[in-house]
Amino acid sequence: MPMTISEKILAARCGRPQVNPGELVEVRLDFAFANDITAPLAIRVFREAGGERVFDPERVAMIPDHFVPNKDIPSAMQTREMREFALAQGLPHYFEVGRMGIEHVLLPEQGLVLPGDVIIGADSHTCTYGALGAFATGVGSTDLGAALVTGTTWFRVPESIRFLYHGEPEAWVGGKDLILYTIGRIGVDGARYKAMEFAGPLIERLPMSDRFTISNMAVEAGAKVGIIAPDEVTDAYVRGRARRGYTFYRSDADAIYEAVHTWDLSGLEPQVACPHRPDNVRGVSELREVRIDQSVIGSCTNGRLEDLRTAAEILRGRKVAPHVRCIIIPGSPEVFRHALAEGLIQIFVEAEAAVSTPTCGPCLGGYMGILAAGERAVSTTNRNFVGRMGHVASEVYLASPAVAAASAVCGRIAHPGDVAGR
pLDDT tens, 54-74?
Answer: 999 999 999 999 999 999 999
Contact status, residue 320 vs residue 353, Cβ threshold 8 Å: yes
% of the chain residues with pLDDT over 90: 98
Contact status, residue 332 vs residue 105, Cβ threshold 8 Å: yes
Interatomic CA distance for residues 415 and 362, integer angstroms: 23
Which strands make up the sheet holding 281-283, listed edge to edge?
A: 281-283, 271-273, 395-398, 376-379, 294-297, 325-328, 354-355
Neighbouring CB atoms inside 10 A of 361's CB total 27
Q: What is the rounded (10 degree) CA torsion for 301, 415, 174, 314?
A: -80
Domain residue limits, the chain: 5-262, 271-420
Mention every residue, 6+ apart, whose C-beta is less than 8 A from residue 141.
34, 38, 39, 41, 42, 45, 122
Mention every residue, 6+ apart, whose C-beta is less than 8 A from residue 322.
411
| H-state helical runs in 118-197 | 141-150, 175-186
Q: What is the pLDDT of residues 13-39, one digit of tens each?
A: 999 999 999 999 999 999 999 999 999
Radius of gyration of the chain (CA): 20
Neighbouring CB atoms inside 10 A of 267's CB total 10
**Domain 271-420 class?**
alpha beta
% of the chain residues with pLDDT over 70: 100
Q: What is the pLDDT of residues 223-268, one digit of tens each?
A: 999 999 999 999 999 998 999 999 999 999 999 999 999 999 999 9
Interatomic CA distance for residues 169 and 167, integer angstroms: 6
**Residue 379 backbone dihedrals phi, psi, to 5 degrees:** -140, 145
Please provide the average confidence, as pLDDT, over all residues in the chain: 96
For every residue of 325-350, DSSP letters joined together read EEEE--SSHHHHHHHHHTTHHHHHHH
Q: What is the pLDDT of residues 410-421, one digit of tens each?
A: 999 999 999 987
Q: What is the pLDDT of residues 325-342, one digit of tens each?
A: 999 999 999 999 999 999
- Across 295-332, b (16+ Cβ under 10 Å) vs e yields bbbbbbbbbbbbbbbbbbbbbbebebbeebbbbbbbbb
pLDDT of residue 147: 97
pLDDT of residue 421: 72
Beta bridge partners of 63: 35
pLDDT of residue 420: 83
Q: Is 5-262 CATH 3.40.50.1980?
A: no
